[in-house]
Structure 1
Amino acid sequence: MAIEIIVGLPHLNEGPILERVRDLGQPALVSANALSWWSTVRGWPEWLGWRIAKLAHANGLASLDLDSAGFVAMKRYGGFAWSIDQYFQLASAFPFRRIASLDYCTEHEIAEDREEVLDRISRTIRANRDCRDRAADLGLQDRFMPVLQGRTPADYERCADGLWWSMRPGAVVGVGSMCRREVGGPNGLVAVVDHLDSILPRGVRLHIFGAKGAALPWLKAFGDRVASIDSQAYGVAARRDAYRRRISKSDKLVADHLQRWCERQFERLDEPARRIPRIIQPIEAPPILDPWETAVATAREEIRALIESGNLDHDEMTNGWIEQWAADIYHAA
């Protein structure tokens, strides 16, 4: 079964880009942010809701998937501007093939240290649970796609363990924080997929968000484990081309680069599968902590466990709260 190439759309405006995707018959993915309605009247970005009418422009596409725009939300706005209920208002307004869960990305520019990465994994687990429940309420559970997050291969395993209920044969599970990740290396894209391939039940397939096209020959080596990838890399190529030629980055130019990008991906799929030797992840000895550091670490783990279990909201973790929780543990000890 070939890996499916999904075109990430910058918008749903009628014009050359959508026309080209229809002509090519390629499945597409759109971000929730591309359908957002924003105002800057007050001097800052204010989210006002969804541009539902734009979804009519998606008619005629082979299929359309919905992404929660986790990285853009964190990078531009410091968090999701929309609630889970609001996100599923959008999800229920069109027959999306897949509806990705809200998730908390872990790229270096978003999560600066190890504790923040672990916090965001716990928030992702809780957000998946809440999104799953909302999808079930609306009868959308068959289209709901869980999303894993992490920095290291072991992080993704931790997240998968928290989402055990979704790891069933036939499921497609998203793998996030991949678009800025190198293909090789101990924490590279291939290492993450390889580790997930070794631990997930047979029949669970992966969608790799933002995977570099250069990774396709290596992803082919995993057989049917990788269901699909998506990318908007053609938009970057179009921007560079426009700058080099001193011309406008028109949608017609972008559509031409989109077609060339798709053709290049199919060429890569025709290349022989390539394998990187399985990397044995080293087991690091836990650091030696003083009593206060131990209390803080314990507080973080207890709060994460409560978030993952659904007893705390996925945004209920602040430094002040952690320090107070740790102080109680410290004094009790």
Structure 2
Amino acid sequence: MATMTMVQALNSAMDVMLARDPDVLVFGEDVGFFGGVFRCTEGLQQRYGDTRVFDAPIAEGGLMGVAIGMGAYGLRPVVECQFADYIYPGFDQIVSEAARLRYRSAGDFNAPITIRAPYGGGIFGGQTHSQSPEGLFTHVCGIKTVIPSNPYDAKGLLIAAIEDDDPVLFFEPKRLYSGPFDGHHDRPVQTWAGHPAAEVPIDHYTVPLGKAATVRQGEDLTILAYGTMVHVALAAAGETGVDAEILDLRTLLPVDIKAITASVRRTGRCLIVHEATRTGGYGAELSALVQERCFHHLEAPILRVTGWDTPYPHAFEWHYFPGPRRVAEGIRQVMAG
């Protein structure tokens, strides 16, 4: 075991897989010599050479197309899109080729590719460095979508993604990269609390895709969250004093329907929290899922606390995504329902 930040845990996952499987390779924008804009790939090119860890042009459509071709021929590429906001030029390759390759070829080919992308706000990156596009990909059959909330899960989920035989979108919350997020605060100056004390195994292990984690047990209310919002939900629940159960979904597609329905049927109430825009966001799918399967157990309407339906505001991003105050208000509203 070793104490790791999320950046270090992700680096360790790729290190383990590069050493373990000669078919694994890492490429993307600035991931080689520079070690990645967030240093997630630091030292990997020096360790494994520039034929297995290498830089690529700023051409996301090309990155995804090359990765798909590599996967079809038996390699397991891990391609980094420097920011999730940059992924749109590669969208067609991902949804029209990677997601459909196994079905279109009747199982003759598949795309065992992992696409890593830092996502979400909190670093004043503006409109082109802060978006949360996970809902776009959960709409597409054939792609798995993963979002970790802590270093231990980040490493185990990334290894599981690399070993998976289908394409995986692996979104990494930037606010959680270099230290523990203190969800009790709404302002950026108070969001980091130094280095985390997250114990992560040094060697190979996996966290299964499609399995949620109960990070807080409770009987009064179920909160569904993922990524950074897990920590915000934990802070809000503690401040309200409500006996809330919090599920960290970890994988959005496939989502752990069994864990969600079991929790909501027991508590009778459900609050959904995500950073992305409200309309068409993944929370709408979660709300429908709960409504269809738990209607007769609900004691109050399902509520969503999300980002606003506006372009991402640069100067006011800390008012855009949910903080503990907004989530706490949501908890109280559901409890009063």
TM-score of the two chains, using structure 2 as the length reference: 0.31
- Indicate the structure (1 or 2) with the bigger Cα radius of gyration: 1
TM-score, normalization: structure 1? 0.31
Q: Say which structure is richer in strand.
A: 2
